[in-house]
A and B are shown apart, each in its own frame.
Chain A
Amino acid sequence: MMTRVTFSLRRTRLIAFNTVREAARQKLYGFVGVLAAAFVLGARSLRDFNFGAPELKFLADCGFGVMAFFGAALVITATAQLFFSEIENRTVLTLLAKPVWRAEFILGKFIGLAFVAGVFCTVVTLLLIQVLASREAQLLRDFPEASGLGAFVSYSNVIFAGVLQWLKLAVLAAFTLLVASFAQTQLFTVVTGFFILVIGHLQYLAQDAYARGGSWLGRGMSGLIATAFPNFQLFALADGLNVGEALPWWHVARVALYALGYIGVACGLAVVSFRQREI
């Protein structure tokens, strides 16, 4: 008699671990990581190009820019590549022939990708803190009178910014995985992933268009975009602040729950979609 196989966190973890290992083997991701690190460490040499913005803010902007730009490129390409490599190499057939749930496969892939994004954001955040701290110390040595004005940089803010960027990348990975679950080609997944990134940043305009009213078709379309896509502008909370300003923790907590909500829905839909896919 056949016994029903229950959902296993252990198998999910193994798939996640394998996803991380596959990502680590890819030279491209290593190259993106090294390039990002070089940008953050080299940001000080670029400060001669800085006009108008305070120097530490400029350095922080460069760091957040590295996280957002290279992070998005890394997550979208890694999600598409690691998902489709399983299909193209037929390893998914071997895997799913065993008592493995498709939900375990999707969740394992997502957790692995979120881990890769987490490592990327952690490394960039730590490098950015190091760069900011060393420059701040130098500025305080050169201008000791400025120390009376308090700390130049709120490091908790920098950490919050890193966490928020990671959450944004995790949401992006979940949505890209959702696209990959039904897409026929890797290229389509990558292009759609970038579209989702852009739409997520423009989502608030759809909110405004919906609130302004207009034709029922326009309202319907803008309402659909405003509710179906996450608002990625929310994840740049810390970027907009001056480096010395503190970010309320409850803002970060709410945005984190918002991200988890979207991750849950996108991964759930990816599971439903993948269960119907013929491999």
Chain B
Amino acid sequence: MKSKGLTLLLAIVSLVVAGAGLGKFVEPVWRATREAEPALRLDSAAAAAGQGVTLALLGGFRALVADASWVRMYVAWEARDLPATETLLGLVTTLDPRPVYFWLNSARIMAYDFPAWRIETAGGFTAVSPAIQAKFKQQQGEAALQQIDRAMRYHPLSADLWVERANIQLNQLKDLAGAAESYRRAWQQPRAPYFAARLHGELLRRAGRSAEALAWLVKLHPELPTNDEGAGGPVVLGRIRDLERELAVPANNRYQPAR
């Protein structure tokens, strides 16, 4: 008995000493691995544990299991089964949070389909009062934003997520200031679409912040490549001129493009 206890103690001490030394040795690799994998940097212990267990049990198979669950989700979506669809959306993004596709589409379903289904369940668009309809849109829009916030923990540099966030704020929540800010954040991400910057300026104008919109577009225009039609340099310049007219900017203070 004494010998067994000693062996157990020896085992624990040996593993701890070896682990401490080996852990230090492999520290730079672990730091680099964590930097490259947002799933390993989750703040929530529960979410991180979920990811760890998924990785342990499924490894690379999680992609396949998540894909199959996504197909199953569509069956529930076609039947307009809100609880089942919501559950499966959560399952898919827990199983494999790597594809942005899952996050974007789950947020869209939550923001645009779920309110429509709830209105239909409550009696239809003609029977349900506009106030209740607006409430459903607000609740589901907020739920979709929470889903995008979760996605951003895994994809902190995704411009698509910021654009989707802005779209939901604009179309469902009618939050012009929030949407303008989200388009601006989208523009700050790598490989951001040019329209995000243009929309930021446009929403500032619509929100009555024309001077800010003008300053933004004046700053933006020289950064746009001239050889890329999608950059929309002439469109931006046109909007600058509109805003200068609207704000009655003196001719000598007007923006002069360098090229």
Contact = CB atoms under 8 A, between A and B. Distances in A.
A276 B36 contact: no
Given A254-B28, A268-B14, A273-B7, A227 B20 contact: yes
A46 B71 CA distance: 13
Interface in B1-57: 3-4, 7, 10-12, 14-16, 18-23, 25-26, 28-30, 32-34, 36-37, 40, 45, 48-49, 52-53, 55-57
B29 A205 contact: no
B132 interface: no
Given A204-B40, A265-B15, A265-B18, A49 B52 contact: no
A227 to B, nearest CB: 4
Contacts of B34: 204
**Interface size for chain A: under 10, 10 to 19, 20 to 34, or 35 or more residues?**
35 or more
A255 B58 CA distance: 22
Contacts of B3: 276
Interface residues of B, number: 50
Interface in A224-276: 224, 226-234, 236-237, 239-241, 251, 254-255, 257-258, 261-262, 264-266, 268-269, 272-273, 276
Interface stretch (A53-61, A89-97, A140-148, A183-191): A53-61
Contacts of B40: 204, 233
Interface stretch (A18-26, A76-84, A193-201): A193-201
Name the residue among B26, B45, B63 with the largest chain A CB count within 10 angstroms: B63
A67 interface: yes
A66 B29 contact: no
Contacts of A269: 10-11, 14-15
Nearest to B13: A228
A50 interface: yes
Nearest to B60: A65
B238 interface: no
Given A202-B49, A254-B26, A51 B101 contact: yes
Contacts of B32: 251
Contacts of A159: none
A266 B14 CA distance: 9
Contact of B59 (A52, A65, A241, A255): A65
A61 B63 contact: yes
A230 B52 CA distance: 14
Name the residue among B19, B64, B67, B101 with the largest chain A CB count within 10 angstroms: B19
B102 interface: yes
A62 B53 CA distance: 18
A51 B19 contact: no
A68 B26 contact: no
Contacts of A258: 22, 25-26
B62 interface: yes
A7 interface: no
A25 to B, nearest CB: 28
Given A52-B100, A262-B22, A236 B55 contact: yes
A14 B58 CA distance: 35
Contacts of A51: 67, 70, 99, 101-102
Contact of A65 (B45, B61, B101): B61
B98 interface: yes
Given A52-B99, A52-B101, A229-B19, A254 B25 contact: yes
Contacts of B45: 205, 208-209
Given A49-B71, A224-B12, A228-B19, A64 B29 contact: no
Contacts of B64: 46, 49, 61-62, 65
Contacts of B48: 205, 208
Contacts of A53: 63, 98-99
Given A52-B100, A254-B25, A64 B60 contact: yes
Interface string B84-115: 00000000000000111110000000000000
B88 to A, nearest CB: 13
A273 B53 CA distance: 30
Interface of B: 3-4, 7, 10-12, 14-16, 18-23, 25-26, 28-30, 32-34, 36-37, 40, 45, 48-49, 52-53, 55-64, 67-68, 70-71, 98-102
Given A53-B63, A66-B60, A202-B53, 7 more contacts: A52-B101, A60-B60, A201-B56, A207-B23, A229-B19, A234-B30, A273-B11
In the A-B complex, the 3 residue pairs with the closest CB atoms: A52-B99, A65-B60, A52-B101
